[in-house]
Amino acid sequence: MDLNKLFTHRCTGTDSATRVSRTDFQRDFDRIIFSSAFRRMQNKTQVFPLPGSVFVHNRLTHSLEVASVGRSLGTLAGDFVVENYGQDISADSTEFYRHQLHNVIAAACLCHDVGNPAFGHSGEDAIASYFERNESQLQHKFNEKQWADLINFEGNANAIRVLTHQQTGKDDGGTQLTFTTLAAIAKYPCE
């Protein structure tokens, strides 16, 4: 694994904004906070498996808490990379790991529930089961890849779709996040 190739400043869409006061990865975090996809989570209750907590809150609050923890872990991880592999990475990579990785991790944490259906992983299973049960009536309406997406519904992949979808009156590329942040949102990429 080449630590110099695990990040990029390139983003989706055609971003022409001049970035003087913020880095690309700070901009990703900010764009997520102001996105409608993120804000919609304020109306979704965070489901707890066991009753009794008096601190039931929405997914937006939960995601902000997760981002706070993620930022701290990202700082620790970036410091670890620089301290243990600093001699093997470029100056740009040292800068990224020391000063930007935590922004990428925090941004990805903000989005960890953006693409999830109601009831999280149970909801993913329910969507897949519905399409599998109704295969004979529905499969002909979709191409092979679309059908595979429906019977293997995955919230992280859906989050990327939601965040990169062009919104009315907006630029191409949706929220125009860096490919680095989108890769972090994917968490476990597969074909």
Nearest residue to 12 (alpha-carbon basis) of 164, 184, 114, 169: 164
Residue 45 has pLDDT above 80, yes or no: no
Distance (Å, whole) CA 178 – CA 163: 11
Mean pLDDT of 116-127: 87
For the chain, domains (ranges, CATH) are 24-43+57-117+153-186 (1.10.3210.10)
Distance (Å, whole) CA 104 – CA 26: 8
All residues at 6 or more sequence positions from 182 whose CB lies less than 8 Å from its CB, including other chains = 12, 160, 163, 164
Q: What is the pLDDT of residues 74-101, one digit of tens each?
A: 999 999 999 999 999 999 999 999 999 9
Band the pLDDT of 55: cuts 50, 70, 90: low
Distance (Å, whole) CA 69 – CA 164: 25
Residue 39 has pLDDT above 80, yes or no: yes
Q: For the chain, first and last CA: distance in Å? A: 19
* Residue 1 confidence (pLDDT): 78
Mean pLDDT of 67-73: 97
Distance (Å, whole) CA 9 – CA 20: 14
* Residue 173 confidence (pLDDT): 65
Residue with the bigger pLDDT between 10 and 73: it is 73
* Residue 172 confidence (pLDDT): 67
Distance (Å, whole) CA 36 – CA 24: 20
Residue 137 has pLDDT above 60, yes or no: yes
- The pTM (predicted TM-score) of the whole model is 0.83
Nearest residue to 185 (alpha-carbon basis) of 149, 151, 146, 155: 155
Token pair of 124, please?
Answer: 């993913």
* Residue 110 confidence (pLDDT): 95
Q: What is the pLDDT of residues 160-175, one digit of tens each?
A: 888 988 665 566 667 8
Other CB atoms within a 10 A radius of the CB of residue 153 amount to 20
Distance (Å, whole) CA 90 – CA 16: 27
Residue with the bigger pLDDT between 115 and 167: it is 115
Residue 44 has pLDDT above 80, yes or no: no
Mean pLDDT of 27-49: 85
Residue 46 has pLDDT above 70, yes or no: no
